[in-house]
Amino acid sequence: MNRSRSKLVAFAGLVIAVVVLVVAMVGGSGLTAQTTTPEPGSATSAASAVANPSTLPTINASQLPKEARQTLALIAKGGPYPYDRDGVNFGNFEGLLPKKSGGFYKEYTVQTPGESDRGARRIIVGKDAAKYYTADHYESFKFIVEGK
């Protein structure tokens, strides 16, 4: 009797594990582990590679202009930033980035040699740590592949 009871308990445990796995795969958000998204500038965000959540073309970080790589380094360490507008909310009014709620994106200036103001180049960072580069003041974007 003891042997059949332990088999039944083991079988019940297996069934429960399979059900939990299936529910999690189908979208049972209540059963999935909660994760936190690192803030831009945290040590964790600089080390993590983010998959492209958009249909935008990609650019390797190493292919960015020197000034954009410098801005990425400032973002990774949390500043200080050269412009007062660095780190403000980016509204995505153009609708070119993935649609998210207000406050999801922050913008950072990429200095442009020869410009007397902020110029047109920016890096946009999402709360999901995805980063985008625009060289033409939000008319087009490329997803930045970090670590390459």
- The catalytic position among 94, 137, 139, 146 is 137
DSSP letter at 81?
Answer: -
Average pLDDT of the segment spanning 56-81: 96
What's the CATH code, domain 43-145? 3.10.450.30
| Catalytic-residue membership of 39 | no
Number of other residues whose CB lies within 10 A of the CB of residue 31: 12
CA–CA dist 80, 55 (Å, integer): 31
- The catalytic position among 107, 115, 139, 146 is 107
Q: Are 89 and 102 in contact (CB under 8 A)?
A: yes
Q: What is the pLDDT of the chain when averaged over all its residues? A: 80
**What pLDDT shows up at residue 74?**
96
Q: Are 63 and 69 in contact (CB under 8 A)?
A: no
Total number of residues shown for the chain: 148
At position 145, the amino acid (one-letter code) is: V
For 12-34, write each residue's pLDDT tens digit.
556 565 555 555 555 544 433 33
pTM of this structure: 0.67
Query: Domain-by-domain residue ranges, the chain?
Result: 2-31, 43-145
| Catalytic-residue membership of 107 | yes
